[in-house]
């Protein structure tokens, strides 16, 4: 259906006719041709684009993936100032099981009063811990006020009894005004709600939902956990009725069981985060705006059979931005919905159809399915009524994705290798600062690669347009001139393995490069390719780097002291650099293309020395530098003094033999003369 405006109508009609005779049971696919192609100043030239969009829409649905469940019984905590929490409770309590936590110090200025009638549980205190997600929030709060609101009956006797007026209708004691008469304690004897000697109360509870009305939110990340809503009602934030109303509407619907796709796939064997408790690549942890990814670098407390040294991704916190998969240099993290094969097939269908229909200089515009799609719709409508607005150009092919950060270097280069002139990414208010920085770094790497191969022009660009007020900026950005495309597009589609895709596309782009190059220098930040340079004067060939390398880029030679390196496998994680005890390793971001790419696939020797031979049996067992370092470090050890120091120059077998023979000689010589020897 080439009409998205009436998609709801067509879907309803399709549901009503399900199972009827002579009806097509296939799912309906929708594609927007009007705003993205028809309503544009160069709509007459948009036929190739329309053909490409229709062809891509006819691809089958992606395969379903594992889902992540959420279960909510409607237990909702509302935390904030006295009046704010009670106002919100009125809108929620007919649908949710509401608990109020009065935290006047964090918002509300200590003003307000509690209702005399107790409609729901009410507590007072400071939140000390809040973590979790929809259906599984863990909340801890501490209260040091003498009045326990859970026990208070709100009879008001304490208010009348207090001579200083230190108690108001919040039923909390202002300790700065209290003079210690303790009349309130006497009148509250039956309820026992007031106790000046009680230790601070610490309460731990679990909730399904949280409405936070305090000025400062409990979560600082760009994307808080699902089920948590922050609507500040503090003294520096005027109450926003619409924002609060929107949050209440969403909270009321979050009761029941909910499923979402598990957006990522993780392969521990490819992860370059850590080895032997040494930290290497942290790209995914740094970019995650939901704090869903944490390090699992330590082996402490783990069984030997357990995997360790990678990362842990909490799927309940993941919102599917895909930024972690974009920055992952090894492909250990990949976006799963849709996966790289499905997404690559879609891009290939778009570009090949566009070219067959006569289209030139295709520019892919990657945008989100939500805010990005709305902006393009607004641009198309504006072009229809405003002569100053051009609309989406005929050569620009919109590509809607779940999140713009989920498409990265491998798919960008695939598009260029398949004939695209440019790849642009539309950023709106949805993208966190971490995503913007990560995309910019990856685009710098991609552009450096193409520029190094002689492709003229700017092939990659981030377009900023936060909302409809930026339509003029968006319209101008889409009019940028085309860049130089590859002379012969490839028919190869993106692979499931990220590194395999990169190798295939780089080989194709290099083979058709306007200016062939043996080596292309890459930016240091975000580069997934590069070399390892070894200071041979400092290297002892201890081979610690070989054990630390997660990608088998570094290897030893069982036959002789030798360090080998295969550049194709290196992801520039830095584990070899941090592991090397001599500091002899330096990383050099680059792309080696010599000998038609064969040079980076062949192992080469970085360092080798003649082996040191055992002074007793002449068997090679180390290097001269290792032996010298060992003798220097152990020179003061009592076990290696005098002739015993020669044991450091022996292989393991000869060292044991020598130690045994020397100890045996000493024992025999100490035996008194005339004693029988057995």
> Does the residue 588 lie in any domain?
yes
* Owning domain of residue 659: 611-669
For the record, the structure tokens of 476 come out as 């101008």
Helix axis angle, 340-356 to 409-417, nearest 10°: 20
Residues 483 and 368 in one domain: yes
Question: Do residues 291 and 383 share a domain?
Answer: no
Q: Are 352 and 411 within one domain?
A: yes
In a domain, 107, yes or no: yes
**Boundary of a domain, candidates 241, 260, 279:** 260
Does one domain contain both 329 and 283?
A: yes
pLDDT the model gives residue 235: 59
Residue 227 within any structural domain of the chain? yes
Write out the H or E segment, with its range, that includes residue 652. Answer: helix 652-669
Q: Which of 103, 115, 209 is nearest to 169 (CA)?
A: 115
Number of independent structural domains in the chain: 5
Residue 228 maps to a domain: yes
Q: What is the predicted pLDDT for the residue at 265? A: 95
Alpha-carbon separation of residue 321 from 255, 283, 317, 404, 662 (angstroms):
25, 14, 11, 7, 68
CA distance 444 to 526: 9
- Asked whether the CA dihedral 546, 550, 552, 553 is positive or negative, the reply is negative
The pLDDT assigned to 645 comes to 82
- Which residues 6+ apart lie within 8 Å of 216 measured at CB? 106, 232, 234
Instruction: Confirm whether 524 is domain-assigned.
Output: no
Q: The CATH number of the domain where 103 resides is what?
A: 3.50.50.60
Whether residue 237 sits in one domain with residue 99: yes
In a domain, 176, yes or no: no
pLDDT at 674: 43
Given this model, what pLDDT does residue 168 score? 85
User: Do both 541 and 437 map to the same domain?
Assistant: no
586 and 660 inside one domain: no
Q: Is residue 183 part of a domain?
A: no
Indicate whether 551 and 640 sit together in one domain: no
CA angle 648, 651, 657 (to 5 degrees): 90
Q: Among 608, 628, 643, identify where a domain stops.
A: 608
Q: Do residues 454 and 385 both lie within one domain?
A: yes
Last residue of a domain, one of 334, 357, 372: 334
Same domain, 422 and 538: no
pTM score of the predicted model: 0.85
The pLDDT assigned to 620 comes to: 80
282 in the same domain as 293: yes
Domain with residue 546: its CATH number is 3.30.70.3270
CB of 565 within 8 A of CB of 592?
no
**Contact criterion met (CB below 8 Å) for 266 and 333:** yes
Q: Is residue 105 part of a domain?
A: yes
Specify the 3-state DSSP secondary structure of 300.
Answer: coil
How far is Cα 424 from Cα 427, in angstroms, rounded to an integer? 10
Q: Give the per-residue pLDDT at 465.
A: 94
What Rg value do the Cα atoms of the chain yield, rounded? 34
Listed in order, strand segments (DSSP E) in 89-200 are: 97-102, 122-124, 126-131, 137-143
- 3-class SS shares of the chain: helix, strand, coil, % to 5: 35, 20, 45
Strand-pairing partners, residue 607, are 563
**φ, ψ for residue 377 (rounded to 5)?**
-60, -45
Residue 63: its pLDDT value, please? 83
Residues 385 and 428 in one domain: yes
Q: Is the peptide bond before 358 cis (omega within 30 degrees of 0)?
A: no
Q: Of the candidates 427, 416, 415, 333, which has an alpha carbon nearest to the alpha carbon of residue 372? A: 427
Pick the closest to residue 527 from 598, 599, 588 (CA basis): 588
pLDDT for residue 485: 98
Burial of 474 (0-12, 13-18, 19+ CB in 10 A): buried
Cα-based torsion angle of the residue sequence 463, 466, 467, 468 in order, rounded to the nearest 10 degrees: -40
What pLDDT score does 134 carry?
Answer: 97
Crossing angle for the helix pair 498-511 and 433-452, to the nearest 10 degrees = 40
pLDDT, averaged in runs of 10, over the chain (678 residues): 79 75 69 88 93 94 91 96 90 96 63 80 92 97 89 90 89 87 90 88 95 93 94 68 93 96 94 90 95 80 53 95 96 94 96 97 97 94 91 96 96 98 96 94 97 98 92 96 97 96 97 96 95 93 92 91 95 95 96 94 92 84 76 79 81 83 55 40
pLDDT for the residue 296: 87
């Amino acid at each position: 259906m080439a009409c998205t405006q009436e998609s709801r109508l067509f879907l309803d009609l399709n549901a009503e006719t399900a199972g009827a005779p002579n009806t097509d049971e296939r799912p309906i696919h929708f594609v927007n041709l009007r705003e993205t192609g028809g309503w544009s100043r160069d709509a007459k030239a948009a036929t190739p684009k329309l053909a490409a969009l229709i062809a891509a829409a006819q691809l089958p649905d992606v395969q379903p993936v594992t889902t992540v469940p959420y279960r909510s019984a409607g237990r909702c905590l509302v935390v904030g100032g006295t009046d704010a929490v009670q106002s919100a409770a009125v809108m929620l309590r007919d649908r949710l099981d509401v608990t109020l936590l009065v935290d006047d110090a964090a918002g509300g200025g200590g003003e307000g009063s509690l209702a005399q009638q107790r409609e729901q549980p009410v507590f007072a205190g400071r939140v000390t811990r809040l973590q979790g997600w929809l259906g599984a929030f863990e909340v801890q709060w501490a209260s040091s006020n003498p009045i326990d609101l859970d026990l208070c009956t709100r009879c008001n006797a304490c208010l009348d009894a207090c001579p200083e007026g230190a108690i108001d209708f919040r039923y909390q004691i202002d300790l700065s005004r209290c003079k210690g008469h303790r009349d309130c304690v006497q009148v509250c004897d039956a309820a026992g709600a007031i106790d000046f000697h009680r230790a601070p109360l610490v309460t731990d509870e679990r909730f399904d939902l949280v409405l936070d009305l305090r000025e400062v939110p409990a979560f600082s990340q760009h994307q808080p956990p699902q089920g948590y809503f922050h609507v500040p009602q503090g003294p520096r934030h005027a109450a926003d009725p619409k924002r609060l109303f929107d949050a209440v509407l969403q909270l009321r619907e979050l009761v029941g069981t909910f499923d979402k796709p598990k957006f990522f796939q993780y392969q521990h064997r490819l992860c370059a985060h850590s080895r032997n408790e040494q930290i290497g690549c942290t790209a995914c942890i740094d970019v995650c705006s939901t704090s869903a990814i944490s390090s699992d670098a330590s082996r402490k407390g783990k069984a030997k059979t357990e995997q360790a040294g990678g990362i842990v991704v909490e799927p309940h916190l993941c919102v599917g931005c895909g930024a972690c998969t974009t920055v992952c240099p090894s492909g250990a993290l990949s976006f799963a919905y849709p996966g790289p094969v499905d997404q690559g097939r879609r891009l290939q269908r778009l570009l090949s159809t566009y070219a067959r229909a006569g289209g030139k200089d295709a520019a892919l515009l990657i945008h989100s399915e939500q805010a990005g799609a709305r902006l393009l719709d607004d641009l198309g409508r504006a072009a229809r009524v405003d002569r100053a607005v051009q609309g989406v150009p005929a050569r620009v092919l919109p590509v809607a994705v779940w999140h713009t950060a989920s498409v990265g270097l491998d798919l960008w280069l695939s598009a260029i290798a398949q004939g695209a002139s440019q790849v642009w990414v539309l950023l709106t208010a949805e993208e966190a600062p971490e995503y913007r920085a990560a995309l910019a770094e990856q685009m710098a790497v991609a552009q450096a690669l193409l520029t190094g191969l002689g492709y003229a022009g700017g092939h990659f660009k981030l377009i900023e347009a936060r909302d409809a007020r930026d339509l003029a900026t968006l319209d101008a950005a889409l009019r940028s001139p085309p860049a130089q495309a590859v002379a012969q597009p490839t028919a190869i589609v993106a692979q499931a393995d990220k590194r395999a895709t990169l190798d295939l596309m780089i080989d194709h782009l290099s083979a058709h490069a306007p200016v062939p190059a043996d080596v292309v220098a890459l930016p240091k930040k975000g580069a997934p390719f590069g070399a390892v340079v070894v200071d041979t004067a400092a290297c002892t060939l201890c081979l610690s780097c070989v054990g630390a390398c997660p990608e088998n880029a570094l290897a030893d030679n069982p036959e002789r002291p030798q360090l080998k390196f295969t550049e194709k496998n290196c992801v520039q994680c830095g584990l070899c650099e941090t592991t090397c005890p001599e500091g002899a390793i330096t990383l050099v971001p680059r792309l080696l293309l010599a000998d038609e790419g064969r040079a980076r696939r062949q192992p080469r020797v970085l360092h080798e020395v003649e082996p040191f031979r055992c002074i007793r049996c002449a068997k090679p067992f180390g290097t001269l530098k290792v032996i010298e370092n060992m003798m220097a470090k152990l020179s003061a050890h009592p076990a290696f003094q005098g002739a015993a120091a020669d044991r450091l120059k022996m292989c393991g077998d000869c060292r044991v033999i020598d130690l045994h023979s020397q100890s045996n000689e000493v024992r025999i010589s100490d035996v008194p003369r005339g004693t029988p020897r057995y």
